[in-house]
Structure 1
Amino acid sequence: MMFSIDPANLMVAPLLIFMISGMLCLLFYKRVDIQRAIVISSSLIALIAAVKLLDLLTRDGFVTTQVGGWEVPFGITLFVDRFAGLMIAMTALLAVAASIFSFSDRVLSARKKRIGFYPALMFMLGGISGAFITGDLFNLYVWFEVMLISSFVLITLGSKRDQLQGGIKYVVINFVASSFLLLAIAILYGTTGNTNLAALAASLADPALQPITRLAAILLLVSFGIKAALFPFYFWLPASYHTPPIAITAIVAGLLTKVGVYTMIRTFTLLFPLQQHYQLQKFLLGASCFTALVGVLGAIAHRDIRKVLAYSLISKIGFILWGLSVYTSAAIAGAIFYTLHHMLVNTNLFFAAGIIGKAAGSYRISEISGLYDRLPLLSFVFIMLALTLVGIPPFSGFWGKFMLIDAGLLAHEYGSVAIILITTLLTLYSMMIIWSKCFLKKQDVKGQQLLPEGVFIKQCYHMYIASAFLLIVTFWISFNPSWLIEYTQRAAEQLLLPSNYVDAVIQR
């Protein structure tokens, strides 16, 4: 008889795997070797479970369950559709890559691994997975707090002065975001008596409630906008993301802002559909365009590779949320595709930055040169990632950007499409600054001498393996995008039919 897994168990498997792994790492906190084995094996198992879940969602469209058998809206609802399934799979994929990357002592010292890196990483991944599968607004707040605490531990790990300064800025602004979320929950609960997303969506369909709940919608926009680094709430990100070791920055940058993106897309398609809230839609359209422009201008202005990538991350958040603000099926499909593409490429660019930093001994562009001649493999990885980020065909960034721009033109958003195109050119310029200065410029004989690449790879092989792993996945999506385009289109269609979400949960 063929072995089968209950869909509900498959849905919660990544969450449980990460949380249990975090507990096991705490039990073996003095044995880094055992923690490493736990982390890589659990990440691989979570990835397998996530891929099986994606396959199930291809056929069934969604999976939902009530924890403990309680009826809606009294119990804890768990719900995964195609969008959530994609985000869970990408989280598990990045967990595998980040685990391998962190094994190198050249990017994360043995001391930092002994004082809590692996448990904090696993709990953060568990919090992220919980945010993707929860069907309740208050439980979303709980998972946000799990993410906030564990990511704060990661950012301040080692307790250096700049880390503490960046960590304090990070935790304070995210505490403010959580406070706005709690206020919104209080308003919605006081108005409808529910925090269950499906029950809320059914209640908020009543036009008479809109004047009361409009404030809750604004509070949710601000809360999730802060977490996603939307303009004008983005300032905390470049102030904190360059301070921790690059192994931590890579996974934090790749995942945390995307949780904010996910919750914004979920909220403003399910609870407050943007076609019914014109002013919010226009605000989000303008804010996303400013986010894209301000981010890329910050990337051009800075000369620390980590800050360039942090500001570039902000810019691409603008691209994604612009797709939400256009609010058509094609635009949201493009936003989902671009989100997945950027999670891969942004994380890998931070991996590449980590390799550059260890090879040259600095992240300052002015202090790095000669990489093309001495480290040709690293040069290939970086230029491929840079071209993918910019969106040069046929790489994955091109497909996502093409979907977004095509949707924008069909929606007659010509002005904002022009801003997206200008931002793309400026992104190319910011990446070419790094390429020309750090790679093509001949090495200064007075500067620090680079090791031969063969010797350097032997010292940093974990870093190269992690980067190569993500690059292979990126190439696979780039040269075989049709399945993902079709999947994201079906995911977008699901999102724009909130009644199906409500029926799936309430009539279960």
Structure 2
Amino acid sequence: MNNIIILPIIIPFIVGALLIIFAKHHKLQRVISGLTSIILLLFAIYLAVLVYMDGIIVLEAGDWPAPFGIVLVADMFATLMLLLTAILAIACLFFAFKTITPKRERFYFYPFYFFLLVGVNGAFLTGDIFNLFVFFEVLLLASYGLIVHGGTKYQLRESFKYVIINVFTSALFVVAVAWLYSVTGTLNMAHLSERVAELEQTGVVNTIAMMLFIVFATKGALFPLYFWLPKSYFGPPAAIAALFGGLLTKVGIYAIIRVFTLIFYHDAGYTHKTIITIAAGFTMLLGVLGAVSQFDFKRILSYHIISQVGYMVMGLGIFTPLAVAGAIYYIAHHMIVKTALFLFEGATKRVTGVSDLKQMGGLLKTHPWLAWLFFITAISLAGIPPFSGFFSKFPIILAGFQEGQYVIAGVALLVGLLTLFSMMKIFSYVFWGKQKHTEEQANIKIGKLLAPIAPLVALTIILGLAAEPMFQYSLEVAEQIMDPQIYVDSVLKE
């Protein structure tokens, strides 16, 4: 039974390799890709339910016992991330079927797509910090191929920064892992949790922790290491930008939460309540100010990625079960909503041909379904009830006030207000007002583009209306990851 947790890694790897062979057969690629994404979604649901009912599942590769062998670990947090990844992957893939040109398909779009999922799923499931680095590299290599896919001058120029910054952070990752191994003698996360708890060299441990935080903060686009994101995510097609915006930065956030709840939690006053909380506050504020200052649909969404990851890290910084549960709830909300918003931008551009707000207007009259579905998603991102954005932000901000973190809680409220302003700016410019697109553009049918987005909109409504059971689930996830002994006992079988 434990062998099943390797399937989210093996299935996309095999399919990605298979799709290389059929690179010139576009219809066959679509059929294989579509069926595989549905299978991954069904399996993610099954695995999440199985872990929720029966507890953590551990696979010891090659039957080598931990901590000596490689282990994969599926706990509630990991399986939730697998499920969210599968949902996003299927939505973006089916949107790509209608928007990616044959020219782009011919250059291995689908193999890169599934190799990206290999790295993402592996990062969620690995129980070894060196293999976390390995899976990061797998997803990064695939992302390099996707972010320049199509080869426009803008993509190549702006993606250069994305590649360079990730090369340097990967080097720093290796150095940090090597130093951690020299201090503890192990790379198994569960074993690291035990060894770090026994160390008295808090200065060395905190230094290594901050090195890893810099690595993950860069990949997660936290202050002050977010500068690469807005322009890099502006270049790719909507389906790729949506997958990146909804998913890739959350892998970095997942790594921060995993490492700072399982391994480096002993000096929370310094690492969590000082460094992480300060980074979260500046990330939220500067990200949303960037969004407010923009007049391009896609750039506004890109800057909002930065501001919104600040809420997730804020929950970790406050470091109470309520705050961490809110952060997990917020991750689920944001992955769904942000993906939908990027896909809405792609659908809007299909009609108008532009992404400059000042050149758009009147889409509410010609495409009302597009307008109102976007409106629901936009106010959910801003945190307006009864949608998921409100119920995921509320416990984080409440925990901030309860713990006396009034400044960060105030910043979070201000950021929510500015987020609402920027999203309403998009709605007023793009959908309200005088029609600026031609009658020919007004007659463009986009029902097939809205089909993969509508389930995401439905999910943000459901996550809001079913806030109580969703938050209860998030609280159980938070309680499990904030008690490292549960993870340690499951892996080391103590």
Pick the TM interval, shorter chain: over 0.9
Deviations for 1:379-410, whole angstroms, at most 9, x for unmatched residues? 11110111111111110001101111121122
2:469 aligned partner: 483
Q: Do 2:386 and 2:461's aligned partners in 1 also have CA atoms closer than 8 Å?
A: no
1:414 aligned partner: 406
2:373 aligned partner: 381
Q: Do 2:397 and 2:409's aligned partners in 1 also have CA atoms closer than 8 Å?
A: yes
Shift in Å at residue 450 of structure 1?
Answer: 5.3
1:451 aligned partner: 441
Q: Do 1:268 and 1:274's aligned partners in 2 also have CA atoms closer than 8 Å?
A: no
Which one of 465, 469, 478 corresponds to residue 451 of structure 2?
A: 465
Q: Do 1:333 and 1:492's aligned partners in 2 also have CA atoms closer than 8 Å?
A: yes
Letter in 1 for 2:467: P
Which one of 165, 169, 175 corresponds to residue 173 of structure 1?
A: 165
Q: Are 1:59 and 2:53 matched, yes or no?
A: yes
Deviations for 1:109-149, whole angstroms, at most 9, x for unmatched residues? 11101111110000001110000000001101110000111
Q: Do 2:283 and 2:307's aligned partners in 1 also have CA atoms closer than 8 Å?
A: yes
Aligned partners of 2:224, 2:401: CA distance in 1, in Å?
Answer: 26
Which one of 269, 275, 282 corresponds to residue 290 of structure 1?
A: 282
Partner SS, residue 139 of structure 1: helix
Mean Cα deviation higher: 403-412 or 219-228: 403-412
Letter in 2 for 1:477: L
Q: Do 2:5 and 2:59's aligned partners in 1 also have CA atoms closer than 8 Å?
A: no
Mean Cα deviation higher: 310-319 or 207-216: 207-216
Letter in 1 for 2:62: G
Deviations for 1:6-45, whole angstroms, at most 9, x for unmatched residues? 2x23322222221111111111111111111111111111
- Using the size of structure 2 for normalisation, the TM-score is 0.98
Mean Cα deviation higher: 301-310 or 173-182: 173-182
Which one of 155, 164, 184 corresponds to residue 156 of structure 2?
A: 164
> Number of residues paired by the alignment?
494
Q: Are 1:372 and 2:364 matched, yes or no?
A: yes
Partner SS, residue 65 of structure 1: strand
Letter in 1 for 2:157: Q
Aligned partners of 2:317, 2:105: CA distance in 1, in Å?
Answer: 41
Q: Are 1:253 and 2:241 matched, yes or no?
A: no
Q: Are 1:350 and 2:338 matched, yes or no?
A: no
Gaps of 5+ in 2: none
Q: Are 1:93 and 2:93 matched, yes or no?
A: no
Q: Are 1:506 and 2:492 matched, yes or no?
A: yes
Letter in 1 for 2:476: R
Q: Do 2:206 and 2:271's aligned partners in 1 also have CA atoms closer than 8 Å?
A: no
Aligned partners of 1:471, 1:419: CA distance in 2, in Å?
Answer: 27
Mean Cα deviation higher: 285-294 or 465-474: 465-474
Equivalent runs, 1:110-121 vs 2, <5 Å: 110-121=102-113
Letter in 2 for 1:69: D
Aligned partners of 2:402, 2:86: CA distance in 1, in Å?
Answer: 35
Q: Are 1:492 and 2:484 matched, yes or no?
A: no
Aligned partners of 1:227, 1:507: CA distance in 2, in Å?
Answer: 33
Shift in Å at residue 211 of structure 1?
Answer: 2.7
2:206 aligned partner: 214
Deviations for 1:214-267, whole angstroms, at most 9, x for unmatched residues? 221111010000000000000010120001111110111111000000000001
CA RMSD of the aligned region, Å?
1.3
Q: Do 1:25 and 1:118's aligned partners in 2 also have CA atoms closer than 8 Å?
A: yes
Which one of 410, 419, 431 corresponds to residue 423 of structure 2?
A: 431
Percent identity between matched residues is 39
Q: Are 1:135 and 2:131 matched, yes or no?
A: no
Shift in Å at residue 275 of structure 1?
Answer: 4.6
Letter in 1 for 2:16: G
Q: Are 1:45 and 2:39 matched, yes or no?
A: yes
Aligned partners of 2:361, 2:78: CA distance in 1, in Å?
Answer: 42
Q: Do 2:127 and 2:190's aligned partners in 1 also have CA atoms closer than 8 Å?
A: yes
Shift in Å at residue 60 of structure 1?
Answer: 2.3
Letter in 1 for 2:451: I
Which one of 226, 234, 239 corresponds to residue 234 of structure 1?
A: 226
1:24 aligned partner: 18
Partner SS, residue 207 of structure 2: helix
Aligned partners of 1:223, 1:230: CA distance in 2, in Å?
Answer: 10
